[in-house]
Structure 1
Amino acid sequence: MSYVSDMNHTLSTTSKSSVVTILRSLNWPKTIFLVGIPLAATISLHWIPLRKETFWVGLAYAYIRALTVTAGYHRLWAHRSYLASTPLKIIFAIIGAGAGQDTIKKWCRDHRAHHRYVDTDKDPYSMSKGFFHAHIGWVLFEQSDPVRGVLATGRVDISDLRSDPVVIWQRKYYLILLFLAGYLAPTLYCGLLYDDYLGGFVFAGCIATALQQQGTFCVNSVAHWYGSQPYSTDKTPKDHPLTGLLTLGEGYHNFHHEFPIDYRNGVRWHDFDPTKWVIWLCAQFGLATNLRRFPQNEIEKGRIQRRREKLDEESEKVDWGVPLEELPVMEWEEFQQQARTGCNLIVIRGAVHDVSAFVTEHPGGAAMITGAIGKDATEMFEGGVYGHSNAASNLLDTMRIAAIKKEANVE
């Protein structure tokens, strides 16, 4: 009994110690902001009626804020896939702050590290550390390097961000902009328009903010976990239309990691990528210029190379017969000797084939095969008697047992 009690005490102590360790390692301000506030807001809907108008306002504003992240934070500042006018940059900076995904500088610094060090320990949201870490754990448990006092992620160049006046301005006033664009704006809109201040704050503000944040987090997790890899299998990024739908076009992630400077993620015309459409539309009004596209020839190269890899992978599962260069060499005299002793051997295209199992199965009758035993039947097989199909050639290859010696005199 004493042993059992000691074990229970040890397990209890270990469990408590683990919980304490987890609680201490949490980044509490971000945990409260990303989890606590949305959770409290969701629970409050039990007492606060959600009006239909507020529901649609919340979804629409979440969509708009998400677009400022995908078109602004991501494709403009992180990848410089196009140039934007100052008014457009200011709009992206203000509404993007309302998305609650940190400053442009911080967001882009992490994202550039992600691309440069993808799937390694220097990748801030590396999928190699698990789905939860890639999705939100990297934020909740964000830790600093005890020596350098900065995030323990790989180094990247952000000199362009440090010199961008809009980025500098947004960083200086980020918390104010977050409150104004993220919470006050939807609250006032719903309140002044149809007297739903509380609903506007709870749903269009708190919950809608959390929804679009989760959409962005899905790019880091789902888009590295589920889908196809039509361009490269070197890393975890994947393409999937559903992820593209959830993330405003960011779900074509395999393409994006291969061609990050392209302002499009969904490169095909039918790919759901509203972000590229917004950027293109801005260009029509002179708000965006120099929309960068990776050369189509190089995109096609990547796609074709990946198709070849897939074919090679499938080919390895198929019996093609022993390659000619790997077959043992048989002298012509030995070949004829074995044929005379009852072996059903035929030479075609420089290889000895054992056709014993196929004699009675031959569509043209057994006599056509038995008449070629002990001979070189290449001409007969390739059209002298009948032009055999590709399938027949493939089947024949599985019957190879040796390569005939080239310098031999054959009949």
Structure 2
Amino acid sequence: MAPYLKEGNAILEKYETLKAPQAGPRKYQIIYRNLITFGYGHVAALYGLYLCFTSAKWATILLGYMLFIVSELGITAGAHRLWAHKTYKAKLPLEILLMVFNSIAFQNTAVTWVKDHRAHHKYSDTDADPHNATRGLFYSHIGWLLVKKHPEVIKRGKQIDYSDICNNPVLRFQKKYAVPFIGTMCFVLPTVVPMYFWGESLRNAWHVNLLRYALSLHATFLVNSAAHYWGTKPYDKNLVASQNVSVSLLTSGEGYHNYHHAFPWDYRAAELGNNFVNLTTKFIDFFAWIGWAYDLKTVPKDLVISRMKRTGDGTSLWGWGEKYDGKRMKR
């Protein structure tokens, strides 16, 4: 067996060997601090949306859009594909860049994000999954951040190996200086830059940035919620995770979720690889071209087709209704 297949199978085995209980005592103990901060953030974001149509300058709105894109890449290319799944390797300059992008996104530190995500894959859609989709759409989208963790999440989380992330000097820096560094990258600079360079008001700069932040959060949350509720399952019909092209459009290519859960070590996170809705793959490919990213892992086509035949639901790669008969697509 080829070395990359052995490595891929080893990674898959790591995710699939242990399954936590599917059901157990479920107490919704609200974390009021999170409820208040999320509540304020969303009200402020709605006000920011209003300001975009009334008084905010176009440069401020454009900056918000640019920060939305780079923050998404900090999650998709950084926390997800590089650090959580180790689907490729990055040289120090790219790691630092992605850490900065990840800090602009502010979805906790990358260390915590990776731990939660590895738990999500190992115990997917069970009570040990931090955002267990079987507990409802709202819970898997944002509710899991508003209540205390299920006992199984805490118990099984202790078995997650993320020592490689804890030993990463770039991510150790982010974690050690999380409050000043992430706070500056996510909130201070995006507010100060419009005020200093083109005379935006504090009110507009602050609220438009909070709109950007809220939108980037919800884009990521859609992978946990919508991509576990709607879509097709061409690779493994037994998984809750589904193919959802709409989610891919909003998350720079993260919505091919049935494929991703079937083959979590593929750096493309999609069977279509480098396509027009997979900006993250294009980003990684660019840095591979200049030599900052390397050892990109992919899944051989024959292995993909074999998995489709063995466990898929018969739908196509795109999930638009075509049927797959093992040789060709049939409408």
TM-score range, shorter chain: 0.7 to 0.9
SS in structure 2 of the partner of residue 98 of structure 1: helix
Q: Distance in 2 between matches of 1:120 and 1:30?
A: 23
Please point out which of 305, 315, 321 is paired with 1:300: 305
Q: Which moved more, 1:221-230 or 1:57-66?
A: 57-66
Q: Report the TM-score, using the length of structure 2 for normalisation.
A: 0.80
Please point out which of 85, 99, 103 is paired with 1:97: 103
2:154 maps to what in 1? Answer: 151
Determine if contact 1:124/1:153 at 8 Å carries over to the other structure: no
Task: Please tell me whether residue 243 in structure 1 is matched to residue 228 in structure 2.
Answer: no
Q: Which moved more, 1:42-51 or 1:97-106?
A: 42-51
Q: CA, structure 1 residues 271+232, in 2 after alignment: closer, same or farther (shift >3 Å)?
A: farther
1:222 maps to what in 2? Answer: 226
Q: 1:41 deviation in Å?
A: 4.2
1:191 maps to what in 2? Answer: 195
Q: Distance in 1 between matches of 2:239 and 2:65?
A: 33
Pairs within 5 Å for 1:256-295? 256-268=260-272, 269-270=274-275, 272-295=277-300
Give CA-to-partner distance per residue, 1:104-137, whole Å, 9 cap, x none: 1110000000000001111111111111111011
> Over aligned residue pairs, what C-alpha RMSD do you find?
2.2
Determine if contact 1:120/1:128 at 8 Å carries over to the other structure: yes
1:391 maps to what in 2? Answer: none
Q: Distance in 1 between matches of 2:62 and 2:230?
A: 30
Task: Look at both structures and tell me which one has the larger radius of gyration over its CA atoms.
Answer: 1
| Structure 1 unaligned residues grouped into runs of 5+ | 1-20, 311-411
Pairs within 5 Å for 1:162-201? 162-198=166-202, 199-201=204-206
Determine if contact 1:26/1:141 at 8 Å carries over to the other structure: yes
Amino acid at match of 1:226: W
Determine if contact 2:237/2:313 at 8 Å carries over to the other structure: no
Amino acid at match of 2:289: Q
Structure 1 runs (4+) greater than 4 angstroms displaced = 44-48, 306-310
Q: 1:43 deviation in Å?
A: 3.1
Amino acid at match of 2:280: T
Give CA-to-partner distance per residue, 1:54-88, whole Å, 9 cap, x none: 22221221111111110000000000000111121
Determine if contact 1:75/1:81 at 8 Å carries over to the other structure: yes
Task: Please tell me whether residue 232 in structure 1 is matched to residue 236 in structure 2.
Answer: yes
SS in structure 2 of the partner of residue 230 of structure 1: coil
SS in structure 1 of the partner of residue 105 of structure 2: coil
Q: Distance in 2 between matches of 1:307 and 1:271?
A: 24
Q: CA, structure 1 residues 228+173, in 2 after alignment: closer, same or farther (shift >3 Å)?
A: same
Determine if contact 1:239/1:253 at 8 Å carries over to the other structure: yes
Amino acid at match of 2:284: I
Amino acid at match of 2:162: I
Amino acid at match of 2:287: C
Q: Distance in 1 between matches of 2:245 and 2:155?
A: 33
| Structure 2 unaligned residues grouped into runs of 5+ | 1-26, 316-331
Amino acid at match of 1:200: A
